[in-house]
Amino acid sequence: MPSASQAEGRASVDSVTDADIPEGVSSDAATSWPSRELIDSYLGGTHEMFAWRPGEVVEIDGEAAQAAARAYRDVLGQYASGVTVVTTVQGGTPVGMTCQSFTSVSLDPPLVAFLPMKTSRAFAAIRKSRRFCVNFLAADQTEVSNTFASLADDKFDGVDWQPTSAGMPRLEGTVGWVDCTVQDVHEAGDHYLVIGKVEDLGQGDAANPLLFHQGRYRTAE
């Protein structure tokens, strides 16, 4: 009687296909070649640094998971959105991040939401300050978007802004802004879902919003 582990070993050898065998090795090797899973367990698996949104990179392990992530990005990328920069102040210094996942939530009371990655440095600051300003970018602000999507230390270098009445950074040249206090934070996979209560808001000077669709910036015209 084969032991359970011997039976498992045979099952994994049986599952070897020609595609698993390196070029130049006889296909007879299928009877003795270790399974892809076994090779991966020695090599540490197939890792890919996967870009979900520009600047938002996650490590995905294994070919099936990578294919699923690509399908997720391709389908969800069909949904167009605006582009925002969410700001706060940390120890007297303005900080911020580019954020596509923003939405209005409730009129009474007035609530909005955005979803930062768990690794976001700006969100760590927002969690402490309990306040943030969401700036709705204008069509000519792709450079601002790229700057706030980067890991630069001083993203506000060369960016014009004014403090809101709560002291949050309101960028110049946007189509609008909302100044919020943090009402709730929920865990949501590799992101947080942040609900904000709108304390103040206003229209910006610009007329046309910056849009994001299929991984590219677009404008409405």
Ligand X SMILES: Cc1cc2nc3c(=O)[nH]c(=O)nc-3n(C[C@H](O)[C@H](O)[C@H](O)COP(=O)(O)O)c2cc1C
Where along the sequence are the contacts to ligand X (CB under 6 A)?
53-56, 83, 97-101, 115-117, 120-122, 145, 148-151, 212
| Minimum gap (Å) between residue 207 Cβ and ligand X | 20
Nearer to ligand X, 90 or 183 (CB): 90
Q: From residue 80, how far is each of 57, 68, 84, 121, 204 by CA, in Å?
A: 20, 20, 13, 25, 21
DSSP code for 173: T
Nearer to ligand X, 33 or 56 (CB): 56
Nearest 5°: the CA angle 150, 75, 58 is 35
Nearest 5°: the CA angle 27, 17, 33 is 60
| Minimum gap (Å) between residue 156 Cβ and ligand X | 12
| Minimum gap (Å) between residue 171 Cβ and ligand X | 14
Task: Locate all alpha helices (DSSP H) within 77-181, ordered by sequence.
Answer: 121-129, 142-148
| Minimum gap (Å) between residue 54 Cβ and ligand X | 4
| Minimum gap (Å) between residue 95 Cβ and ligand X | 7
Cβ atoms 95, 148 nearer than 8 A: no
Nearer to ligand X, 54 or 173 (CB): 54
At 39 the three-state DSSP class reads: helix
| Minimum gap (Å) between residue 81 Cβ and ligand X | 8
Nearer to ligand X, 116 or 209 (CB): 116
Nearer to ligand X, 21 or 57 (CB): 57
Edge to edge, what strands does the sheet with 131-136 contain? 93-99, 84-90, 131-136, 176-188, 191-203, 111-114, 102-106
Cβ atoms 135, 171 nearer than 8 A: yes
Nearer to ligand X, 33 or 136 (CB): 136
Contacts 24+ apart (CB under 8 A), 35-40: 37/12, 38/12
